[in-house]
């Protein structure tokens, strides 16, 4: 079977809710990332055979097949198709898997995979709340309600269940959150994100034009004392807004090719996709699937956790990566080395390719070989991707 290679990986810098990216339509955000991938590889745009794009809030500005709209707003020709993926927070990581599978099968040679989410312009939960409010029903069918009586699937509940199940105290989670900001600050100040970020022109509140190229969510004045002072999300719980991911606007993408695609482009690959896994688990606790997913991926790949040099585990809530560390025995010094979603933001469907861009560039910057990426997803799902730097 053919291999799948990543030849370019890019993302926008994250924007806070109502922040610097608020004036960017999500379709145009995605198109800017696509254009950057084309520019970085020098590919003839007509050689791109598909665009697979992750997005969770597929309503309003992100409706009508956002992937196809991203293609049409970009420098790609109309001959390039596009399809949108919803695997919840793992949507663009799944887009990467689909793209890799396409080129590995030989059905296609050059595919772009990515994702976008403007959580400012399409608020989280809108595809559920808006129809329900207007009398068009809810996703919980009679059979689902019969199987899960009285259950409201809720990520915040799941995050607290994770903390309780794995014995994670508020102090432990607060300390993890503080370190996320500290790592993100250090990475930004060292220019660690420069090679992956696509600069965008934005207008400030004062009406001035500037270039947005740094993640807006990082709190440079964060202190452990201040984080510990944030009120709990639920009484008696362990999590706060400070130990949870930030609402974020952003887009990300990678270009994936096989050997034939490499020859057509004439570029050197950044990484090879070594292994892909997706698993389902308990939809009520919802967020722990990265743990069995990682163990399954390592077993299938014939690897041990210590064979992996860097890990990107999405910081949806601090309880997720902390429990993951506990259960996998992974080295915490290898985890989210440039910070994670607690500091950098979590643009839902755009996070999978965002983490991949960060992981691939971090492997190159640190001269490491293997990287593993995973994230929790609504419905009790998790994608796991292992890549090898080339």
pLDDT (tens digit, 9 = 90+) per residue, 13-27?
Answer: 999 999 999 999 999
Positions of the chain with pLDDT under 50: none
Active-site annotation holder among 55, 89, 248, 361: 89
Active-site annotation holder among 97, 181, 346, 361: 346
Active-site annotation holder among 55, 181, 361, 376: 376
> Quick one: pLDDT at residue 12?
98
| Start-to-end C-alpha separation, the chain | 19
What does the DSSP assignment read for 187-249? HHHTTTTTTTEE-EEEE-TTS-EEEE-S-TT--TT--HHHHHTSPBSSTT-S-BGGGBPPBEE
Would residue 55 show up in a list of annotated catalytic residues for this protein? no
Query: In Å, what is the CA distance from 118 to each residue of 29, 147, 206, 287?
Result: 9, 34, 22, 23
pLDDT (tens digit, 9 = 90+) per residue, 284-305?
Answer: 999 999 999 999 999 999 999 9
- Please, which contacts does 77-82 make with residues 24 or more away whose CB atoms are closer than 8 Å? 77/45, 77/46, 79/46, 80/45, 80/46, 80/48, 80/49, 80/50, 80/51, 81/49, 81/50, 81/51, 82/50, 82/51, 82/52, 82/53
Would residue 248 show up in a list of annotated catalytic residues for this protein? no
Q: Which residues contact 122 (CB under 8 A, 6 or more apart)?
A: 26, 57, 59, 60, 61, 62
Query: In Å, what is the CA distance from 155 to each residue of 159, 215, 283, 320, 329?
Result: 6, 24, 10, 11, 25
List the structure tokens of 95.
């887009």
Number of H helices, E strands in the chain: 13, 13
In 3-state terms, what secondary structure has residue 146? Answer: helix
Alpha carbons 305 and 296: distance in angstroms, whole number: 11
**104 — phi, psi (to 5°)?**
-70, -35
């Amino acid at each position: 079977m053919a291999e799948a290679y990543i030849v370019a990986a890019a993302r926008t810098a994250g924007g806070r809710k109502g922040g610097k990216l608020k004036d960017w339509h999500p379709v145009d955000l995605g198109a800017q990332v696509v254009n950057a991938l084309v520019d970085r590889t020098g590919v003839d745009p007509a050689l791109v055979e598909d665009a697979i794009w992750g997005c969770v809030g597929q309503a309003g500005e992100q409706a009508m097949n956002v992937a196809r709209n991203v293609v049409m707003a970009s420098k790609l020709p109309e001959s390039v198709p596009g399809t949108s993926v919803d695997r919840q927070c793992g949507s663009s990581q799944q887009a990467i898997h689909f793209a890799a599978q396409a080129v590995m099968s030989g059905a296609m040679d050059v595919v772009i995979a990515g994702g976008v989410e403007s959580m400012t312009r399409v608020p989280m939960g809108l595809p559920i709340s808006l129809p329900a409010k207007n009398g068009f029903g809810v996703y919980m069918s009679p059979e689902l309600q019969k199987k899960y009586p009285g259950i409201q699937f809720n990520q915040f509940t799941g995050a607290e269940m994770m903390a309780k199940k794995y014995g994670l105290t508020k102090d432990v989670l607060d300390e993890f959150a503080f370190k996320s900001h500290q790592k993100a600050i250090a990475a930004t100040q060292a220019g660690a994100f420069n090679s992956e970020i696509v600069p965008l022109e934005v207008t400030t509140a004062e009406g001035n034009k500037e270039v947005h190229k740094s993640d807006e969510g990082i709190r440079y004045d964060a202190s452990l004392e201040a984080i510990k002072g944030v009120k709990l999300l639920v009484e008696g719980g362990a999590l706060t807004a400070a130990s949870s991911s930030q609402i974020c606007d952003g887009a990300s993408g990678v270009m994936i090719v096989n050997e034939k695609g490499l020859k057509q482009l004439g570029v050197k690959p950044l990484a090879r996709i070594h292994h892909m896994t997706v698993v389902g688990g308990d939809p009520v606790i919802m967020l722990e699937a990265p743990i069995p997913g990682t163990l399954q991926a390592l077993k299938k790949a014939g690897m041990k956790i210590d064979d992996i040099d860097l890990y990107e585990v999405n910081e949806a809530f601090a309880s997720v990566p902390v429990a993951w560390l506990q259960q996998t025995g992974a080295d915490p010094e290898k985890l989210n080395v440039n910070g994670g979603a607690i500091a950098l933001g979590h643009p839902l469907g755009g996070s999978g390719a965002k983490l991949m861009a960060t992981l691939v560039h971090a492997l190159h910057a640190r001269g490491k070989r293997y990287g593993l990426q995973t994230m929790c997803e609504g419905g009790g799902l998790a994608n796991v991707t292992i890549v090898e730097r080339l």
